[in-house]
């Protein structure tokens, strides 16, 4: 084989490996019949739940199912796997809902990372722990408890130089970065009027 062909093949494979490290996801709405059967139907038994919507999120690692609803003026989300087991839960929050030290640490990190940034959405999340159990986790979620193992997910639009990019950040209860991911742009597969 010629040397040129070997070099081009190595560059091609190297590019595939580098690009394969990102986890891209797409979320789309589905019908209730396409949602997996839940292990505990008591989640939906509460009469205060409004605006139930079912979503499927597909990424490079697999598919998860998200139930989004409104309860007592808060927007909740529950994430399930294919077999209907709870993976995490949480709700949308505002800046005032953060502990002071946590939001200060998060903003310090973001201002050090970007020239300019805008926080689009903020979520408080509870990762599922088998020791606690599903009912206890949902109770913690619906009571909006501040626990030491809480996670905060932020959707941020940040600018570095002339490029603007959407990111998802996960921070722990102290405001330290756990995970960062480049987010895909909004899905405009529908007709815009």
Q: How far is CA 104 from CA 19, 35, 111, 171, 175, in A?
A: 33, 39, 11, 12, 8
Question: What residues does each domain of the chain span?
Answer: 3-182
Q: Are 165 and 157 in contact (CB under 8 A)?
A: yes
Instruction: Output DSSP code: residue 33.
Output: G
What is the predicted pLDDT for the residue at 13?
59
Quick one: pLDDT at residue 170? 95
- The secondary structure of 52-77, three-state, reads EEEEEEEECCEEEEEEEEEECCEEEE
Q: Tell me what the mean pLDDT of segment 68-86 comes to.
A: 90
The share of the chain scoring above pLDDT 70, in percent, equals: 79
What CATH number was assigned to the domain covering residues 3-182?
Answer: 3.10.450.360
Q: Residue 21 pLDDT > 60, yes or no?
A: no
- Average the pLDDT over 152-167 and give the result: 93
Residue 142 has pLDDT above 70, yes or no: yes
Q: State yes or no: pLDDT of 25 exceeds 80.
A: no
pLDDT of residue 151: 93
**pLDDT, tens only, 92-138:** 999 999 989 999 999 999 999 999 999 999 999 988 777 777 888 88
Give 190's pLDDT tier (boundaries 50, 70, 90).
low
| pLDDT score at 149 | 86
Instruction: Please check whether residue 180 is in contact with residue 152, taking contact to mean a CB–CB distance below 8 angstroms.
Output: no
Q: Measured in whole angstroms, how far is the alpha carbon of residue 71 from the centre of its chain? A: 20
Alpha carbon distances (Å) from 193 to 28, 44, 159, 179: 20, 35, 29, 37
- Model confidence band, residue 140 (pLDDT cutoffs 50, 70, 90): confident
Mean pLDDT computed over 71-96: 91
């Amino acid at each position: 084989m010629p040397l040129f062909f070997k070099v081009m093949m190595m560059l091609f494979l190297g590019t595939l490996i580098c690009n394969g490290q990102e986890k891209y996801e797409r979320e789309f709405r589905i019908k209730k019949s396409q949602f997996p059967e839940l292990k505990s139907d008591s989640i939906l038994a509460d009469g205060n739940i409004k605006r139930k919507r079912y979503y499927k999120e597909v990424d490079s690692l697999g598919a998860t199912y998200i139930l989004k609803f409104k309860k007592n003026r808060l927007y909740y989300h529950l994430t399930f796997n294919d077999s209907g087991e709870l993976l995490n839960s949480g709700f949308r929050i505002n800046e005032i809902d953060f502990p002071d030290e946590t939001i200060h640490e998060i903003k310090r990190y973001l201002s050090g990372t970007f020239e300019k940034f805008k926080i689009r959405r903020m979520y408080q999340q509870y990762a599922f722990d088998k020791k606690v159990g599903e009912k206890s986790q949902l109770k913690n979620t619906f009571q909006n408890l501040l626990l030491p193992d809480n996670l905060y997910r932020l959707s941020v639009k940040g600018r570095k130089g002339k490029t603007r990019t959407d990111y998802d950040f996960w921070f722990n209860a102290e405001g330290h970065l756990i995970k960062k991911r480049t987010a895909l742009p909004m899905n405009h597969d529908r007709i815009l009027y």
